[in-house]
Amino acid sequence: MATTQPHIVSAEQLLKTPDLGRCELVRGELIMMTPAGFEHGSIVAKMTAPLGGFVKKHQLGRVTGVGTGFLIGHDPDTVRAPDVAFVRAGRIPAEPVRGFFPGAPDLAVEVLSPDDRASRVLDKVHQWLEAGCGIVWVVDPEKQTVTVHEGPNRTATLRTADELSGADLLPGFRFPVAKIFE
């Protein structure tokens, strides 16, 4: 039997419909996503642990995991959920954020799935940057690369011999790209 998806066009409606599964709201359109595969989840964990440890040790802010929604657009609403995100301490409200974080993270990490289309991923990167995200890391398990986007015209592709750096956003953070794919 086929199931009908509820008509959701706003971040508020999305937040009040918890049993949807993995999805994002893009310009008022609900986008359903399949659960992440094992390799994808392993890579996310390998990136979350060192990044989270570094941020906690230096009291720089918060690192969030897969599924955390960020409200990055209105009229129509857009709620995106990166695989890993970092928000600087100065941007975190004193009161707990019970719903979606209002705005983009400072760093968004997207791990490609085998069925991701390049145009869709690039659109997502541009949405993050336009919403105020400082850096987007796109991890490609197939090519074993990390493409660093620091603006629409500032990109660099790192390979397994390179180190991922936190640049000015996370000064001192360094992580060998090869460790992501071990």
Q: Please give the pLDDT value at position 5.
A: 59
Q: Does pLDDT of 152 surpass 80?
A: no
What global pTM score does this model have? Answer: 0.92
Q: Per-residue DSSP letters for 120-155?
A: HHHHHHHHHHHTT-SEEEEEETTTTEEEEESSTT-E
Identify residue 94 by its one-letter amino acid code. Answer: A
d(CA 98, CA 146): 31
7-16, 77-86, 147-156, range with greatest mean pLDDT: 77-86
Instruction: Please give the domain boundaries of the chain with CATH numbers for all domains.
Output: 36-180 (3.90.1570.10)
